[in-house]
């Protein structure tokens, strides 16, 4: 069956019953698209069972019931402010329908036999139904929505309009071949694709979870097949084999003075395998706070230099770029340069010339690296840190600075497993799950803000023992909307107690003043740094051993874990104090307790994702991040893993999707707009 069979689903919304130009525009906004398919993919979130059909004498106030009655008469109100009353009856007694909207009176002609459904109430001694949800001729019971879907709606689209559109869309649904493995369908007790849609939009029985699961798996499988095809295409793209003699790496490790952890060595082995392969590398290196990703990045860069080429590391902020530059400079046996927007004039011209002629084999910098006027003699490896802060276009721009450039992207924020299988599934993944030996455990405790005086006394004791303290606040200035002590107000208070030992740093300060404060804290001249979350990455002060986070309940778990990772980098015992409002709820307290009880960043990331969802976890939505309509990746995580395995196995057996199942899968990909994958299969 060709993709032409999907043409009825590509038709305009305006072709559906009840949708003219105005309503089709509103409907398109509601369902997220302008086609018949988009109505089918706008699934109900609940179903109202209207099969309870008591006689009037048996009906109870407070219940939703469906009555089969005869209209006896209509009683007009004596005053305009009063409703019309429709007297109805069956063989067991009488009841009333109350209508404040006289426009509905034609639905109730005297003598008509009707099916009416709605919520019952008792007024005085009479059973009353105000404005029935549904009124249907008793001669057409088959048309009545005995199981009524409840769709998410928007202003202007009524349930009746949505139902007509959904039924019209179902009527257009063609018979499609099955694209799933029959064994899987039997194991899961899943209906067919069309059967699942009908069970949700026009059910004869409460649908249960199986139709929704089936459709979620359709979407997950389509996306995972697409990702698998992209991965296969990338592996076919010509790259270059980068190998080395280990001379530069050995020198760097000798300067480092410690043996890398098994996790670091495993990640490096996976990176080396990619670098040596004849295809381009696209690998994500993720590691918890303090797991040693920077060392792995440097050793990967030195492999490129050993092969006679250049390497670059890109960081999202100048602070983080300078931190990486300091580490590279300390450990690298070859010259390293720093390129940021603040470097201008003769120094910048010399730097750019050295990159262009190969004098500088290693460069660390900010987004300035991928600007058009920056040229390399031979950029073989690009490393991007905190990669989620860069868009796809920026990552590609750096990858295009050289011929067949390998790309390694890193993040210190542990990524939930679900997001790895969805948002970064086109990449190969390396995880560093352990921390270097000798790192002290961080003791995390919870404190009410009412204990502020005790907290300040603890800060005094820490400073007296030559410790250094971070004090993080969620806002810069006082907010009228949120009763939160801002960084500037907290700094003013602490400055009175600690004097020049306290300094302030936040994103709205002049860069020179902020950098001076950070430098003062790093050198030990200042012992207390009051800051916003700008210290989350890029600040490395091994002597800092106390982290205080004010209003911790307002932060995400992953961000709290990142902030906590700013301490515990030296040899002194380290502490993280989470300050919260006294009257926080059970859920907020449970979240903070999880952080108190574990330092496993990957577990914390998974829990944070479940609590907050992908949008909040990722922050601002990036270009290229896939959204899901029928599947909830967190809710359907088990299905996601199955879909990934299914996709890989399918393409191993049928790489061109030529078998009967493969042809059906092509329809699936087309149905879910994975046309790039289809084009790749055709070209392959």
Residue 472, in any domain of the structure: yes
Q: What is the pLDDT of residue 142?
A: 85
Q: What is the pLDDT of residue 621?
A: 36
Q: Do 158 and 252 reside in the same domain of the chain?
A: no
Q: Which of 402, 432, 462 is the last residue of a domain?
A: 432
Residue 641, in any domain of the structure: no
Q: Do 353 and 497 reside in the same domain of the chain?
A: no
Is pLDDT at 93 greater than 90 in this prediction?
A: yes
Q: What is the pLDDT of residue 538?
A: 63
Is 287 in contact with 432 (CB distance < 8 Å)? yes
Residue 226, in any domain of the structure: no
Q: Do 540 and 566 reside in the same domain of the chain?
A: yes
Q: What is the pLDDT of residue 481?
A: 55
Residue 185, in any domain of the structure: no
Residue 450, in any domain of the structure: yes
Domain, as residue range, for 536 = 442-598
Q: Do 356 and 466 reside in the same domain of the chain?
A: no
Q: Which of 385, 410, 432 is the last residue of a domain?
A: 432
Q: Do 361 and 261 reside in the same domain of the chain?
A: yes
Q: Do 446 and 417 reside in the same domain of the chain?
A: no
User: Number of C-alpha atoms within 13 angstroms, CB side, residue 29?
Assistant: 10
Q: Do 455 and 396 reside in the same domain of the chain?
A: no
Is pLDDT at 364 greater than 90 in this prediction?
A: yes
> Of 271, 273, 537, which is closest to residue 382 (Cα–Cα)?
271
Q: Do 463 and 493 reside in the same domain of the chain?
A: yes
Q: Do 517 and 453 reside in the same domain of the chain?
A: yes
Q: What's the whole-number mean pLDDT along residues 376-384? A: 92
Q: For 531-577, what is each residue's pLDDT tens digit?
A: 998 887 667 788 999 999 999 998 888 889 889 988 988 888 999 99
Is 544 in contact with 472 (CB distance < 8 Å)? no
Q: What's the whole-number mean pLDDT along residues 216-238? A: 84
Residue 632, in any domain of the structure: no
Residue 261, in any domain of the structure: yes
Q: Which of 54-68, 333-347, 384-398, 666-680 has the lowest mean pLDDT?
A: 384-398
Is pLDDT at 188 greater than 70 in this prediction?
A: yes
Q: What's the whole-number mean pLDDT along residues 21-33? A: 93
Tell me how many domains the chain contains. 4
Is pLDDT at 618 greater than 50 in this prediction?
A: no
Residue 191, in any domain of the structure: no
Average pLDDT, the chain: 88
Q: Do 556 and 454 reside in the same domain of the chain?
A: yes
Q: What is the pLDDT of residue 619?
A: 44
Q: Which of 196-210, 414-428, 509-523 has the lowest mean pLDDT?
A: 414-428
Q: DSSP secondary-structure letter at 261?
A: P
Helix 247-256 and helix 293-306: axis angle, to 10°?
150
pLDDT level of residue 683 (50, 70, 90 thresholds) = low
Is pLDDT at 582 greater than 60 in this prediction?
A: yes
> Of 684, 677, 619, which is closest to residue 656 (Cα–Cα)?
684
pLDDT level of residue 274 (50, 70, 90 thresholds) = very high
> Of 99, 166, 125, which is closest to residue 116 (Cα–Cα)?
99
Q: What's the whole-number mean pLDDT along residues 284-311? A: 91
List the beta bridge partners of residue 135: 116
Q: Which of 550, 575, 598 is the last residue of a domain?
A: 598
Q: Do 331 and 464 reside in the same domain of the chain?
A: no
pLDDT level of residue 334 (50, 70, 90 thresholds) = very high
Is 252 in contact with 331 (CB distance < 8 Å)? yes
Domain of residue 547, CATH code: 3.40.50.300
Q: Do 14 and 159 reside in the same domain of the chain?
A: yes
Is pLDDT at 426 greater than 90 in this prediction?
A: no
DSSP of 135-193: EEETT-GGGS-SEEEE----TT--HHHHHHHHHHHHHHPPP----S-HHHHHHHTPPPH
């Amino acid at each position: 069956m060709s993709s032409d069979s999907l043409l009825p689903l590509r038709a305009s919304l305006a072709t559906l019953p009840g949708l003219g130009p105005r309503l089709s525009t509103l409907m398109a906004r509601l369902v997220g698209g302008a086609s018949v398919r988009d109505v089918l993919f706008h699934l109900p979130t609940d179903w109202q069972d209207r099969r309870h059909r008591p006689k009037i004498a048996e009906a109870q106030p407070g219940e939703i019931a469906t009555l089969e009655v005869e209209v006896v008469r209509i009683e007009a109100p004596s005053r305009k402010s009063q409703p019309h009353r429709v007297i109805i009856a069956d063989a067991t007694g009488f009841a009333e329908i109350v209508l404040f909207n006289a426009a509905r009176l034609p639905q109730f002609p005297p003598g008509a036999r009707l099916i009416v459904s709605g919520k019952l109430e008792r007024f005085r001694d009479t059973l009353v139904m105000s404005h029935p949800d549904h009124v249907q001729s008793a001669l057409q019971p088959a048309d009545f929505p005995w199981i009524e879907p409840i769709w998410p709606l928007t202003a202007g689209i009524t349930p009746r309009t949505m139902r007509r559109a959904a039924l019209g869309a179902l009527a257009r649904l063609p018979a499609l071949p099955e694209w799933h493995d029959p064994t899987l369908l039997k194991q899961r007790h899943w209906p067919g694709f069309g059967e699942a849609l009908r069970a949700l939009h026009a059910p004869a029985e409460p649908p249960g979870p199986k139709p929704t699961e089936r459709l979620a798996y359709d979407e997950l499988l389509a996306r995972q097949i697409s990702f698998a095809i992209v991965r296969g295409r990338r592996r076919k793209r010509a790259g270059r084999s980068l190998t080395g003699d280990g001379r530069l790496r050995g020198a760097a490790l000798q300067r480092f003075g410690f043996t890398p952890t098994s996790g670091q060595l495993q990640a490096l082995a996976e990176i080396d395998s990619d670098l040596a392969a004849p295809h381009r590398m696209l690998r994500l290196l993720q590691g918890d706070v303090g797991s040693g990703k920077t060392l792995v990045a440097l050793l990967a860069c030195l492999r490129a230099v050993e092969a006679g080429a250049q390497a670059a590391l890109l960081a999202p902020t100048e602070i983080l770029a300078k931190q990486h530059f300091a580490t590279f400079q300390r450990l690298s046996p070859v010259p390293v340069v720093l390129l940021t927007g603040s470097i201008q004039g003769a120094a910048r011209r010399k730097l750019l010339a050295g990159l262009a002629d190969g004098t500088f084999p290693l460069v660390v910098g900010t987004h300035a690296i991928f600007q058009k006027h920056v040229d390399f003699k031979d950029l073989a490896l690009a490393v991007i840190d905190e990669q989620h802060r860069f868009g796809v276009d920026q990552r590609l721009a750096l990858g295009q600075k050289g011929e067949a450039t390998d790309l390694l992207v890193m993040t210190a924020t542990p990524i939930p497993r679900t997001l790895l299988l969805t948002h970064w599934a086109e990449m190969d993944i390396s995880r560093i799950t352990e921390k270097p030996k000798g790192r002290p455990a961080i003791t995390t405790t919870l404190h009410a803000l009412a204990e502020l005086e005790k907290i300040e006394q603890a800060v005094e004791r820490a400073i007296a023992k030559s410790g250094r303290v971070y004090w993080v606040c969620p806002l810069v200035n006082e907010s009228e909307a949120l009763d939160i002590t801002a960084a500037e107000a907290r700094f003013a208070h602490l400055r009175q107690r600690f004097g020049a030992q306290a300094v302030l740093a936040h994103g709205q300060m002049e860069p020179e003043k902020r950098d001076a404060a950070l430098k003062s804290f790093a050198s030990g001249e200042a012992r207390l740094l009051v800051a916003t979350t700008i210290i989350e990455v890029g600040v490395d002060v091994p002597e800092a051993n106390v982290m205080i986070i004010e209003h911790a309940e307002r932060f995400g778990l992953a961000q709290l874990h990142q902030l906590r990772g700013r301490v515990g980098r030296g040899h002194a015992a380290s502490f993280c104090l989470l300050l919260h409002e006294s009257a926080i709820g059970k859920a907020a307290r449970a979240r903070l307790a999880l952080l108190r009880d574990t330092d496993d960043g990957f577990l914390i990331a998974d829990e944070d994702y479940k609590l907050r969802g992908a949008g909040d976890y990722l922050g601002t939505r990036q270009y290229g991040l896939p959204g899901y309509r029928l599947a909830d990746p967190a809710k359907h995580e088990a299905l996601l893993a199955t879909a990934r395995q299914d996709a890989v196995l399918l393409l191993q057996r049928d790489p061109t999707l030529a078998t009967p199942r493969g042809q059906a899968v092509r329809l699936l990909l087309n149905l879910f707009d994975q046309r790039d994958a289809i084009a790749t299969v055709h070209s392959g």
